[in-house]
Amino acid sequence: MDITVVLTSPNPYGSRTLTIEADRTSSVAYLRDARGIVHGAVWLANHVPAPAEDDPARVDAGLPPVLPAARTTRPQGTAPLDPAALSVLWFEEGDGVALYENGELLAVIPSWADLERGLPGYARDAVGESPYAWSLTEALEGLAPRVAKARAYWQWRQAEGSWATFQQFVLGHLDSRLGPPGRYWDVGGDRLPLVGVSERPPTFTRDYTVLSTVGMSCQRMPTAEMYDTACRVELALATRQDPRVAARVFAWLGQYPWRSVTWLGHGHTARWFQKPATFPLGGGHEGVLMLMDPPGLPDMSGFMFGGDVVRWLWLLPLTDAELRLVAEHGHRAVTERLALTSRI
């Protein structure tokens, strides 16, 4: 039986896509990444009377699942979904999504949905918990605030002047912590998330330039909530090199969490993706270690956005050997014996 694609909707960062597929029997929603790999899925509706038992052969054949009569509030089935009646609301992080039918919440696929682990999304017409859908009604107490927050965020983000206002907030904070600004570069390429780099030249209290991203903390990082870690960050770099060259490291990492649907945090490392000789920070280094509040560098605390504390991750360049050491033994294997100022 032919499967019809009812709707597709990419997230604002281009890293995941919601796809709704249907045949004459049922409809299902999939959350796929840029490679097409499914990260979440949820049954949406039966379009024929529900069977008494599960029909796993349908799923094995690549067809949308059906829920048995005891697992749906509409065992008689419903009419096929009308694409014109559907609307999509992505979570701020881009890793979860809410689906509406005629303005009514139809389904939610959160960031933690994973069919392989038995965690499907939530559907309006589902009863209890099944391998293909969990009850949306029973989960609304926890999900409704998340959905409302996502709607409020995108209403604000799409309003005229929102980005400029946010920029000024961050730049004002950098003024208070790092002194007067120098140059400003856009490294986001006019694609969400928008990210710039602010240069803070040397002052009478420091002999190095500080570069900081501006824009990463405008949206929460994907999956961070599942790890109880800082969900909003900016990156910073102390350098005595040509700031225009060093700033290239932010073009590499500034949008990385939303493109790769992941998070950056204290103690994380990242290896340069091109030939080592092209690494912007030079000096035989091939990647970076990210640290919050390293000793000897400016205190960046005191900034909040969206009700969340924003943390700055300082980038410390590492050699290949040091990157491998951190991978095997953790960041303390190198941070306890490194003088940060020697890496600038």
DSSP assignment of 31-71 equals: EEETT--EEEEEEEEESSPPPSS--HHHHHTTPPP---GGG
Average pLDDT of the segment spanning 189-193: 92
Q: Residue 87's pLDDT is what?
A: 98
Q: Is the pLDDT of residue 331 over 90?
A: no
Q: Positive or negative, the Cα torsion across 37, 42, 47, 53?
A: positive
Q: Which of the four pLDDT bands, split at 50, 70 and 90, describes residue 117?
A: confident
Collapsed DSSP state (helix, strand, coil) of residue 196: strand
Q: Which of the four pLDDT bands, split at 50, 70 and 90, describes residue 59?
A: confident
Q: How far is C-alpha 36 from the geometric centre of its chain's CA atoms? A: 17
Length of the chain counted residue by residue: 344
Q: Which of the four pLDDT bands, split at 50, 70 and 90, describes residue 341?
A: low
Q: Residue 339's pLDDT is what?
A: 62
Average pLDDT of the segment spanning 329-337: 81
Mean pLDDT for all residues in the chain: 94
- The one-letter code for the residue type at 276 is P
Structure token pair of residue 328: 């095997």
Q: Residue 247's pLDDT is what?
A: 96
The strand ranges marked E within 169-231 are 184-186, 196-200, 209-214
Identify the CA nearest to 263 among candidates 228, 224, 213.
224
pLDDT digits (tens, 9 = 90+) for 270-288: 999 999 999 999 889 999 9
